[in-house]
Amino acid sequence: MDIPQKQQSTNTDKCKDKDNATQKSINTQRSIVCNNLYDTAASLGKAEKRYDGASELLNDKKCLFVKTEDNYRRYRNLEMTTATKLLITNESLKSNMDTYKKWNTALGAALKDIAKKAKEVKTKFADLKDAAGKLDSAINDSCNCAQYKALTGKSRENCNCGEGGKQVIAACAQSEEILNDLVNMPKALASDIDTIFQSTADVAGIQLFSNLETLEPLEKTLSDQSKLFEAHINQVMKTRKTDLDKLQDDVVKQVQEVTKAVTDRHYQRSILEGYYDAARHLCCPPCDCVQVCESNYSPRLKGCSDAICNICDEVKDAFCCKPVNQEEEANC
């Protein structure tokens, strides 16, 4: 809608003001309407600028709200999943560590006891090995050739008792093998017990250096740091939630401002159009409803009355119900 400049004349060559009292009265009212038209045009400009600024600010606040909401959700999800799992895991680790410590203590005591008993057995086996050595010396002693031959029926290489001998009794039939076992088996057993003792010492040492009690300070450090991490996440989440609530209130208020601005803009536009149409009509009124007759005594304003009735019908159609039958039309 193009608003004419205030200093310009609203008349045209086709519509010239008449120099009479009626025209002067119309000019007075037209001047008021024109002034209102220009004032309303300025108010509409302000309303449009206010609406544009409020809409732009609303978009900025919406963007900030969305980003803050996304940030809040990240911390909230992190707190609900990772932080919670971390705390529960630490609790489980602490409980398991207590059990493992008891088992480890019992295992260490058992390994020490095994190593002690293996050492005792090794000492006994050393005595057995010494006894086997003494037995071997006795067997190889030439003074004992007769006894050896009597037990086994055989002579040693260093004996001069001759080959063969009397028949060995049944109880001593396995005496040679038994003597060999008594001489040689303790050597093998001594080697085995030495291996067993060394193995028990190695296992005890491994258990000592892999002591789970050394992990307890690490578990405590992990637990403390996890609690600090969870507390930090929780605090940030609460801060973001507070920011989010505040931004939500700001967005709601800005929506209200935009709604007021757009309503005011529509209102100013409707007022401007009303003043514009009124000013245009007063500047060059068509007055088509006035019927000019040849006789000065004939009614001339019947058409104006009919035009007003037509306006009334248009208002009824716009603001009232549309009857579908005569009864509804009567109630409308």
Query: Which of the pair, 284 or 43, is modelled with greater confidence?
Result: 43
Q: CA 114 to CA 200: how far, in whole Å?
A: 7
Using the predicted structure, report yes or no on whether residue 12 has a pLDDT greater than 50.
no
Tens digits of per-residue pLDDT, 291-313? 666 666 667 677 777 777 887 77
> What predicted TM-score, i.e. pTM, was given to this entire model?
0.50
> Which residue is it, tokens 């050739």?
145
Query: Which of the pair, 12 or 247, is modelled with greater confidence?
Result: 247
Position 146 scores a pLDDT of: 73
Amino acid of residue 43: S
Q: CA 175 to CA 146: how far, in whole Å?
A: 14
Using the predicted structure, report yes or no on whether residue 22 has a pLDDT greater than 60.
yes
Using the predicted structure, report yes or no on whether residue 7 has a pLDDT greater than 50.
no
Q: Report the percentage of the chain scoring pLDDT > 90.
A: 16
Q: CA 188 to CA 185: how far, in whole Å?
A: 5
How far apart, in Å, are the Cα atoms of 48 and each of 53, 58, 227, 269? 9, 15, 55, 10
Query: Which of the pair, 193 or 165, is modelled with greater confidence?
Result: 193
Three-state secondary structure call for residue 15? strand
Tens digits of per-residue pLDDT, 277-293? 887 777 766 556 666 66
Predicted confidence band of residue 18 (pLDDT cuts 50, 70, 90): low
Helix axes 216-283 and 21-78, enclosed angle (nearest 10): 170
Tens digits of per-residue pLDDT, 104-142? 888 888 888 888 888 888 888 888 888 888 887 877 777
Compute the average pLDDT of residues 239-249: 92
How far apart, in Å, are the Cα atoms of 85 and each of 90, 93, 224? 9, 12, 15
Beta-ladder partners of 12: 15
CA 9 vs. chain centroid, Å, equals 69
Range scoring the smallest mean pLDDT among 131-135, 156-160, 180-184, 272-276: 156-160
Position 10 scores a pLDDT of: 45
- Within the chain, where are the H helices? 21-78, 84-140, 145-152, 175-209, 216-283, 302-319, 326-331
Using the predicted structure, report yes or no on whether residue 276 has a pLDDT greater than 80.
yes
Position 250 scores a pLDDT of: 93
Position 102 scores a pLDDT of: 85
Compute the average pLDDT of residues 253-262: 93
Residue in 251, 121, 293, 98 with CA at minimum distance from that of residue 195: 121
Using the predicted structure, report yes or no on whether residue 59 has a pLDDT greater than 90.
yes
Using the predicted structure, report yes or no on whether residue 55 has a pLDDT greater than 90.
yes
Residue in 234, 244, 280, 264 with CA at minimum distance from that of residue 84: 234
Tens digits of per-residue pLDDT, 169-218? 676 767 778 888 888 888 888 888 888 888 888 888 887 777 777 777 88
Position 3 scores a pLDDT of: 54
